[in-house]
Chain A
Amino acid sequence: MLNNIVALLDSGVAASTNSYESIATVSFTTNTAGITFSSIPSTYKHLQIRFMVKSQAATNDFSMYFNNVSSGGLYAFHNLAGNGASASASAYTTQNYAQLINDFNTSFPSGSVMSGVIDLLDYQNTNKYKTTRTLLGTDQNGAGFIKLNSAMYQSTSAISQIDFYNGYNWASGSFALYGVKG
């Protein structure tokens, strides 16, 4: 097949914009229940978090919250998910954190790896609530799920801290925080 493929590489590549910067990374190889990005610089327009985590137990709990606020019911979120057989949608309001996986009927099996990308737009804006969009999923050759999530944090405060929490501990993982200039 490869002999029949013509790959035409341009002499140049897409221009680099220098507007996407790595801020911080947290990696771990021992059991960890959560990680925190604190003192997030205020110099960007948007934030992106890219992560991979490996489970150590069948778990269905993975959440995030902002500015160390995990009470008061300030979070709401919507889910659209597929488990390989059917699609499902759900919504929650007045929550104490933004759940990334919890309600879905496929768990996160022990030893599996989940990958995801979270975008937090306009995180420094003090005139509106904050909204995230997330794409995450795991596949184990016969099981797994893919999910789209949108979450709202009903606060006009600028975001300076993001916490991720897993009630059953991750075996290993990495979270990388990036800033996008505007």
Chain B
Amino acid sequence: MMDDTEPTTTATAALTTDQRLDVVEAKLDALASQIQTLVDAQRPILDLASEVGPIADEMMSTGIDQLSHLQDRGYFDLAAEGKYLVDRLVEDYDPSDLHDLADNAANILDTVRMATQPSVMAVIRDAAESFDSARELEPVSPIGAVRRVRKDKNVQRGFAFVLDVLARVGRASARAPRPSRGQLAAAVSHAAPPSRETRRSSAAAAAVGASSTASTTSAGPGPADESAFVPDAEWSREVATATAAAYGVAELSENHWQLIDFVRAQYVSSGSTPNIRKVTKLSGIPTRDIYALFPKAPGKVMAATAGVPKPVGCL
């Protein structure tokens, strides 16, 4: 170690002051570039810090606004009461119950789904009403009950239903006390397809609704589909004249035709409909003259009359 450093020290000692200053300068240079690299690396982080501050402030204030809104609506009072509910649940249920609950989740949801069908809810509501009015009902003796089963069709149907439920309960209780995972899976797979089906069809219905609203929004005052190209076979002077009339341009002069033919030719050759400025620039016809011929929204009306899509505004 000492042997290595010895000659170097001697060498340094042998250098002139200027040379030594050069060495120091070179080292400082190297250091400076390293510091610059470090500073450069810090820059994004410093940037981020200065950006995050104000955004975090906004998030905080929006969050607090939201909380105060919830408080106004009474959510917190409800939540406080909710704690009592949770306490009751904790007292009454133990973890193994929760485990069973998880196993049964699909069954429970399925049951809730079926139980909340409108027809079922209607029956329950009727039953509830009947319970309310139970005090006013005449007591029925066993013989009277038999008579009503014999005479009243509604009671017969209800009786059949009650018997059916009793039979199901009996069958279920004869099985294992807790359903196996396999049975659950079967129940789930049985339950799943129809529900998924319903979702899909309702989504499809929604899509149909959406697209029909979309098409109404895009429908302009004119008769034609503004986004379609009318092929030569279907486009004629007569068709163009009718279209122009529908847009309020009653008569088409030679000057009109010059513009209409120009717009159509432009679309055919370039694949896009020129807007008014482009028509002016390319054809040399001043914008004012175009407006004199097609006073209302000439870009759109010329395109429709020429049987080409309306000029894209370019998002």
A binds B: no
Q: Which residues of B contact A (CB under 8 A)?
A: none
Identify the A interface with B (CB < 8 A): none
